[in-house]
A and B are shown apart, each in its own frame.
Chain A
Amino acid sequence: MKLNERSVAHYATCDSPPDKTGFLFKKGERNTAYHRRWFVLKGNMLFYFEERDSREPIGVIVLEGCTVELCESAEEFAFAIKFDCAKARVYKMAAENQAAMESWVKALSRASFDYMRLVVKELERQLEEIQEAAGVGCVGAGGLQCKPKASRRNQVARSRSGASSSSSSSSSSLSSASSAPPMSGSGQKSLLDEGHHTSKENGVAWSKAPGTLANGFVEGASSCVAWESSTDSGISTGCGADGVRAPPVPPRRRGASLESPVSPGTGCFSKLHDWYGREVEELRAQWLQSQ
């Protein structure tokens, strides 16, 4: 089966941040000795290089669908990456110490796309609950209540009825810290179903730290730094910093025509529409340029 290998190798070495890097010993396939390799984990892809400064990876392990287990081995600090398909290979690995082993096992077992998607969905649901509790309206309580919106050209934030769709997305709730969430087939499907709905509303590829879009009406340092510096007060009002109030997000309705203004709170809909469209396009252009 073909793979866009050159681009995959490029992904390994490009400046997108790796989730974890380090030396591990990997048991060879034919030569069953353990070889020390430099590993780079990005998303659900585990790349391995001959040396730390090698330009190209020797190989990659696609981690989707894998389980990670500690294993019995003559080798100390050993663990294995296993897959559930017929004649699947078992990747035997060993770390250099106990802490490294635990750290890698944790990182690898949560590296799947589905896990990430689950976490995102959960946070999205939480944010919706908070926003609904706070009330989406023209006069916000504490600043911008912006959410990521669809990014298609000339597309506007869609309208959605508040209660029904968000509450249904809690069907697959995030399990507790120590165990990876179970991924049953049906569970996945429901995520995808909702994903199809809500993900369209989250279409924007966030260029800078999302803080800049959320508080995009106020360009500047205060937006992103809200996360790190707001230690004293719980709710920061970064967006209101220089008196500019962000327009509220109109409630979204699944399947509604893009052009129909529905939020009771929105003032001038066409202004809102134009503004979002422009802002998203600008940010997107900037992001693409910087890649």
Chain B
Amino acid sequence: MRFNEKELVSLSRQPSEMAAELGMRGPKKGDVLKKRLVKLVVNFLFYFRTDEEEPIGALLLEQCRVEKEDSQTFSIVFLDEAERKYLFECDSEEQCGEWIDSIIKASYEFMRKNLIFYRTEIHRLTGKDPLEQYGISDETRFQVSNGLQLMPRDTSSL
């Protein structure tokens, strides 16, 4: 699958508040723990060899699960390949917790759900749709639904 690598590399250089040297182990048998500079930028987790400018790789953090493995280790697993675990070893339990938190919140899906929640609450409390003033109330991605799936809903009542 083709992707715009140059732009992704450029993205990896953006400032990030979550960047640290962690022990990282890939998902394949035989992968060993290596020291990597791990950096979270939007919904991507980049990993670099220490002191190298260009990342070795990137993980898109959508449709994944983050779990605590032990007091200082967390794992990322992608839902389409749940047996393959990426492991990350932190320096402390606190750091581990911060990474887990940040990665959970780093997905577009997560943000979308929060947005819908706020929109719903604000409407419930005020009777007004807060997105209307920005002209984005009809965008598919902001629609509310009853179920797990977001489906286009008739929001003409709003």
Using a CB–CB cutoff of 8 Å, the interface residues on chain A facing chain B are 1-11, 14-20, 42-45, 56-62, 64-66, 83-89, 107, 110, 112-114, 116-117, 119-120, 122-124, 126-127, 130-131, 134, 142-143, 145-148, 150-153, 174, 176-178, 185, 188-189, 192-193, 196, 199-200, 202-203, 205-211, 213-214, 221, 224-231, 233-236, 238, 287-288, 290-291
Interface residues on B, range: 35 or more
A291 touches B108 (CB 8 A): no
Cβ–Cβ contact A228 & B155, under 8 A: yes
Asked if B79 CB lies within 8 Å of chain A CBs, one says yes
A18–B141 CA distance with the chains assembled, in angstroms:
8
Assess whether B130 is interfacial by the CB under 8 Å rule: yes
CB-defined contacts of B9 to chain A, threshold 8 Å? 1, 85
Please give me the residue from chain B that is nearest to A130 by CB atom. B125
Contact, CB under 8 Å: A151 / B117: no
Residues on A with C-beta less than 8 A from B15 are 185, 188-189, 192
Q: Does B83 contact A (CB under 8 A)?
A: no
In the complex, A226 Cα to B119 Cα: how many Å? 12
Tell me if A43 and B127 are in contact (CB < 8 A).
no
State how many angstroms separate the Cβ of B105 from the closest Cβ of chain A: 5
Whole-angstrom CA separation of A33 from B56 in the bound complex? 33
Q: Is the CB of B109 within 8 A of A288?
A: no
Contact present for B141 and A17 (CB under 8 Å): yes
Assess whether B148 is in contact with A85, with CB atoms less than 8 Å apart: no
- Is the beta-carbon distance between B120 and A43 smaller than 8 angstroms? no
Task: Indicate whether A117 sits within 8 Å of B111 (C-beta atoms), given known contacts A64-B11, A207-B148.
Answer: yes
Q: In chain A, what residue has the closest Cβ to B110?
A: A205
Residues of A within 8 A of B140 (CB): 17-20
Closest 6 CB pairs of A and B: A234-B127, A177-B135, A210-B117, A43-B108, A59-B2, A2-B57
Chain B residues contacting A151 (CB-CB under 8 Å) are: 104
Query: What residues of B have a CB within 8 angstroms of the CB of A87 in the complex?
Result: 6
State whether B17 touches A110 (Cβ < 8 A): no
Q: A113-B43, A205-B113, A214-B120 are in contact. Are A228 and B127 (CB under 8 A)?
A: no
Interface status of B115 (Cβ within 8 A of chain A): yes
- Asked if B28 is at the interface of the complex by the 8 Å CB criterion, the answer is no
Q: What's the Cα separation between A18 and B4 when bound, in Å?
A: 20
Say whether B32 faces chain A, with CB atoms less than 8 Å apart. Answer: no
Chain A residues with Cβ under 8 A from B114's Cβ? 120, 124, 148, 202, 206, 210
Q: Which residue of A lies closest to B47 (CB)?
A: A2
Query: Which residues of the other chain, A, contact B115 by a CB distance below 8 angstroms?
Result: 116, 119-120, 123
A17-B140, A110-B136, A227-B123 as given contacts; A3 in contact with B3, CB under 8 Å: yes
**Cα distance, A288 to B17, chains bound together (Å):** 27
29 A-B Cβ contacts within 8 A? A1-B54, A2-B56, A7-B78, A8-B60, A10-B80, A17-B151, A43-B62, A60-B3, A62-B3, A62-B11, A65-B14, A86-B6, A86-B10, A89-B7, A116-B111, A119-B115, A126-B122, A147-B121, A199-B102, A203-B104, A205-B113, A209-B120, A209-B146, A210-B113, A210-B114, A214-B120, A224-B144, A228-B154, A236-B124
